[in-house]
Amino acid sequence: MQVVSSARALGPAPLGAVYRAVWRWHFYAGLLVIPFLILLAVTGGLYLFHKEIDAVVHANLLRVQPGTGPGLAPSALVANAQRAVPGTPLTYVTPGDPGAAAAVGIRTPEGTHRLVYLDPADGRVLGSIGPKSTVMGIVRQLHSLAFFGVWPPYVIEIVGGWTVVLVLTGLYLWWPRGGRKGGVVSLRGTPTKRIFWRDLHAVSGLLAAIFLAFLAVTGMPWSSFWGGQTHRLVAAAGIGFPAGAWGDAPSSSLPLQAVAADVGWTMQTSPVPLSSGHHQGAPTKEGTPADLPTSIGLDAAVAIFNEAGLERGYAVALPQTAEGVYSGTVYPADLAKERAIHLDQYTGRKLIDVAFADYGWGGKAIEWGVNVHMGQEFGRLNQIVLALACVLVIVMAVGALVMWWKRRPPGSLAAPPWPSDRRPVVAVTAILFVLGLVYPLTGISMLAILAVDLIGHHMLAARAASAA
């Protein structure tokens, strides 16, 4: 199969040089991202309703009959969970509403993690499952490609950058010119004709363009390379999590995301503070240890978090060392209620208490974008609109595939030919490479595509010369 098709194979095309240059880059962008766009649209569309779907599929674990009494203490629920699944308790998740189960995260002796669900009224164990083994947990891992290991998520980052290329070049190609009316906002022909699929691709792409670009950009903060670099830049600029909130509290090298099951983007890399009361257990002059301090315990920590007003459904990360802290975190649909509180495990003193209102403008902007991306910011309307956008993306992608297949000469990739005047090619490529500077992994892949394209062009030219 030819990697690069010739203008002769495709026939003459009375199009402007800039149009042809844009069209070729649009073709390469589509070639790279369309399979992933279909995957992302399907999994993302499903994940918009993750709470609703999990509540149905895993109702036996997540839902209980609302109790009338105060229920069991958190420590008793943790003890019941440990009896059912022996291991080290890591987290305790409070019920989000009267009909919700409590959950205890446990690390088993084999090193695996399990979430044990319990009826908070009587401590009855409802069952256990891996934290990422719920239906929506699997869908989320497929959406990020984390299901396939450490490196595949970098592919999603590259796809995100190419998606922006696809949208920008697609809008240029769609723009009406030469008095053309058909295919702008209407469909021509029938499904047996290529023009129908071309128009279907163009019209659905136009409707999906804004959403597609928004989803690509707002998904980038969670990416592996670009997201990590953005975290550092936002923190260094002082527009992310408020570094001053730590005050004189000693901090560990452990990021919050290492202990908290679900935490907002801004606080992911914030350092977990240390409890100071353990120093009281230092040896005395006589060589015998002083009275060792005792932890306030989970029940007291939960009482403090409740009194502080943490939104119900929050998770408590339990201290795992003598210097560890009780960390209460909540990542609700309402960003205003997003919060993280760390308690000294010996005194119960609040070492850090940071809410969404304390973030810098950069953190707030990214959190808002992520929240809309996940369909949470505007409630049900947010879910419905983005679900329709996912459908449009799938229609656009299918239209492109069928259109390409119908115009594709046998044995060729059918890439649109470059114009004979290479100046527009250089100009268009230079403009797109600016985006490659913003998204470096995408920029590297652009260089790779350009190199393959040039090599293919020279191979075809050499073959034509030898045939002559």
Q: What percentage of residues in the chain have a pLDDT greater than 90?
A: 63
pLDDT at 52 over 90: yes
Determine the pLDDT at residue 363. 94
3-state secondary structure of 115: strand
Determine the pLDDT at residue 241. 85
Q: Does 199 share its domain with 250?
A: no
Q: 223: pLDDT confidence band, cut at 50, 70 and 90?
A: confident
| 53, 135 contact by CB (below 8 A) | yes
The full DSSP string for 258-283 is GT-SS--GGGTTPEEE---GGGGG-B
Flag whether 452 is in a domain: no
| 224, 152 contact by CB (below 8 A) | no
Q: 125: pLDDT confidence band, cut at 50, 70 and 90?
A: very high
Q: 7: pLDDT confidence band, cut at 50, 70 and 90?
A: very low
Q: Does 120 share its domain with 161?
A: no
Express each pLDDT in 302-320 by its tens digit.
999 999 999 999 999 999 9
Q: Does 355 share its domain with 247?
A: yes
Q: For residues 27-37, give the mean pLDDT.
A: 93
Instruction: Provide the pairing of β-strand 113-118 with 125-129.
Output: antiparallel
Q: For residues 96-110, give the mean pLDDT.
A: 95
| Weakest mean pLDDT among 35-49, 293-307, 407-421 | 407-421
Q: Does 199 share its domain with 268?
A: no
Q: Which run of H or E residues covers position 140?
A: helix 135-144
The CATH number of whichever domain residue 111 belongs to comes to 3.10.450.40
Q: For residues 402-416, give the mean pLDDT.
A: 82
User: Of 133, 165, 193, which one is at a domain's C-terminal end?
Assistant: 133
Flag whether 1 is in a domain: no
Flag whether 453 is in a domain: no
Determine the pLDDT at residue 291. 59
Q: Does 177 share its domain with 106?
A: no
Sign of CA dihedral 114, 119, 125, 126: negative
Flag whether 151 is in a domain: yes
Determine the pLDDT at residue 323. 93
| Weakest mean pLDDT among 45-49, 239-243, 400-404 | 239-243
Domain span at residue 86 reads 63-133
Determine the pLDDT at residue 274. 93
Flag whether 55 is in a domain: no
| 153, 221 contact by CB (below 8 A) | no
Q: Does 27 share its domain with 87?
A: no
Q: 126: pLDDT confidence band, cut at 50, 70 and 90?
A: very high
Flag whether 85 is in a domain: yes
Express each pLDDT in 319-348 by its tens digit.
999 999 999 999 999 999 999 999 999 999
Q: Does 25 share its domain with 159?
A: yes
**Number of independent structural domains in the chain:** 3
Q: Does 262 share its domain with 327?
A: yes
Only one residue has tokens 């071309």, namely 198
CA dist., res. 146 & res. 125, Å (int):
30
Determine the pLDDT at residue 3. 43
Determine the pLDDT at residue 253. 84
Contacts of 133 (CB under 8 A, 6+ apart): none
Q: Does 199 share its domain with 254?
A: no
| 241, 235 contact by CB (below 8 A) | yes
Determine the pLDDT at residue 2. 42
Q: Does 346 share its domain with 276?
A: yes
Q: Does 189 share its domain with 257?
A: no
Q: Does 348 share its domain with 299?
A: yes
Q: What percentage of residues in the chain have a pLDDT greater than 70?
A: 91
Flag whether 141 is in a domain: no
Cα angle at 163 between 427 and 385, to 5 degrees? 135
Question: Whole-model pTM?
Answer: 0.87
Q: Which two tokens stand for residue 107?
A: 């690390």
Contacts of 289 (CB under 8 A, 6+ apart): 281, 282, 283
3-state secondary structure of 327: strand
Flag whether 32 is in a domain: yes
Q: Which amino acid is at 45?
A: G
pLDDT at 281 over 70: no
